[in-house]
């Protein structure tokens, strides 16, 4: 487990003080993929660099497996950093070294025997899907392949934690998905704790178990990804969720249905987890004397299950409409009534 308590970072110049990270406290469980999301200037990059003390905290503590790294000496920190892997947005590869030699570099620094280095590098090249590229130089690789080298290098010393600093933001969407799938695979195979920062909600949606939302150096919201998607609390979180659920922007387009003077109800349904796969509309049509008009909807997967939003119009007797809505709610689907009959 990683425990971060009251973490602060202040950058000082002659003219001003900048509070980049402001009293952040988080607990990150062993083996989970934890996302930190924020817009530019939110403090997320500084935050992740504080975890391995690439930036020195102004105050606060960072405990990794009950060891407070903020209190470690320089020599202790060097050893601890071998167990904290990090991958970067722009790869940070050594351009004069081959794929094999880039991955071997941290093992060489750690003083590993040549036989162990050869065996470990071969294993990692296979793990990240770069077999046959051992002798290539970074200039001969695609962006996705370069990031695979970066991931393999970060795993060379069998880290306890993998830090990902905007690891996919320099990649195209298809390559981004490939790298995210690789990180999920590594998380499952190795039981590795991954902390990932990003400004893309798609990344959080696809691979993270829990997420913290940062704004102006503070964590303004945290929770399981599915809960945060379905019930965002802060304005910043709602803006991120709208990136993936454009229907939230389009509710005004339903006004022609909402403002109609008839005996219909317009409702918004939230499907969560296995309920997203349920044929609920068919059940309603079979069990109740109502007409169902589907207005618009969307569905998206997360690591903890799918969630969906569906806007429907129900036409029928008011008592039957009430019974229908109760049936939907009993099915575990959240209902928001936008227009009453």
Six-digit token pair at 194? 């991954």
Residue pair 337/327 in contact by the 8 Å Cβ criterion? no
What are the residues whose beta carbons fall under 8 Å from the beta carbon of 207, sequence distance 6 or more?
A: 33, 35, 180, 183, 184, 187, 196, 303
Which residue spans within the chain are E strands per DSSP? 2-12, 17-28, 33-37, 59-64, 67-68, 84-88, 161-165, 193-198, 210-215, 218-224, 264-272, 291-302, 305-315, 334-339
CATH architecture of 2-244: 3-Layer(aba) Sandwich (3.40)
CB 254: neighbour CB atoms within 10 A?
Answer: 18
Predicted pLDDT of residue 252: 57
Kindly state the DSSP code that residue 250 receives in the 8-state scheme.
Answer: -
The residues facing 97 across adjacent strands are: none
Distance in angstroms (rounded) separating the CA atoms of residues 34 and 67: 20
Q: In this structure, what token pair is assigned to residue 221?
A: 């919201």
Cβ neighbours, 10 Å, residue 96: 9
pLDDT at 245: 64
Domain ranges of the chain: 2-244, 248-339
SS3 content of the chain, % helix, strand, coil (to 5): 40, 30, 30
Strand order in the sheet with 2-12: 17-28, 2-12, 59-64, 67-68
Q: Which residues contact 231 (CB under 8 A, 6 or more apart)?
A: none
* C-alpha torsion sign, points 238, 304, 195, 86: negative
- Of the candidates 191, 194, 216, which has an alpha carbon nearest to the alpha carbon of residue 203? 194
Quick one: tokens of 224? 């399981």
Tokens of 327: 């049936």
Q: Which fold has domain 248-339?
A: Alpha-Beta Plaits (3.30.70)
Question: What's residue 14's pLDDT?
Answer: 81
Block means of pLDDT (10 residues each) for the chain, length 341 residues?
Answer: 94 88 95 94 93 93 92 89 90 94 94 94 95 95 95 94 91 91 94 94 91 95 88 88 64 59 76 71 88 81 75 87 89 79 52
Q: What is the pLDDT of residue 147?
A: 94
Two tokens, residue 295: 């207005």
């Amino acid at each position: 487990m990683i425990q971060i308590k009251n973490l602060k970072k202040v950058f000082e110049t002659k003219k001003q003080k900048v509070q980049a990270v402001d009293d952040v406290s988080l607990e990150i469980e062993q083996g989970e993929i934890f996302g930190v999301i924020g817009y530019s200037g939110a403090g997320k990059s500084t935050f992740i660099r504080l975890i391995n003390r690439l930036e020195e905290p102004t105050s606060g503590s960072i405990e990794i497996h009950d060891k407070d790294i903020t209190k470690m000496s320089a020599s202790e920190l060097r050893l601890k950093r071998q167990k904290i892997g990090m991958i970067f947005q722009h790869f940070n590869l050594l351009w004069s070294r081959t794929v094999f030699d880039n991955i071997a570099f941290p093992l060489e620094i750690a003083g590993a025997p040549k036989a162990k280095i050869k065996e470990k590098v071969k294993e990692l090249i296979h793990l990240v899907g770069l077999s046959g590229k051992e002798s290539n130089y970074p200039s001969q690789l695609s962006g996705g392949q370069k990031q695979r080298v970066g991931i393999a290098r970060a795993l060379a010393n069998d880290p306890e934690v993998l830090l990902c600093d905007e690891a996919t933001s320099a990649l195209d969407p298809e390559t981004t998905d490939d790298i995210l799938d690789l990180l999920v695979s590594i998380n499952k195979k190795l039981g590795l704790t991954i902390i990932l920062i990003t400004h893309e909600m798609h990344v959080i949606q696809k691979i993270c178990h829990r997420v913290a939302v940062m704004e102006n150096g503070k964590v303004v919201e945290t929770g399981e990804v599915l809960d945060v998607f379905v019930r965002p609390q802060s304005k910043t979180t709602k803006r991120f969720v709208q990136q993936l659920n454009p229907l939230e922007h389009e509710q005004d387009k339903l006004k022609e249905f909402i403002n109609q003077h008839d005996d219909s109800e317009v409702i918004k349904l939230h499907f969560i987890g296995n309920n997203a796969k349920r044929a609920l509309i068919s059940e309603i049509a079979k069990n109740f004397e109502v007409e169902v008009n589907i207005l618009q909807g969307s569905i998206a997967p997360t690591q903890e299950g799918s969630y969906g939003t569906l806007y429907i119009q129900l036409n029928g007797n008011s008592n039957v409409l009430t019974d229908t809505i109760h049936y939907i709610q009993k099915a575990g689907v959240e209902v928001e009534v936008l227009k009453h009959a």
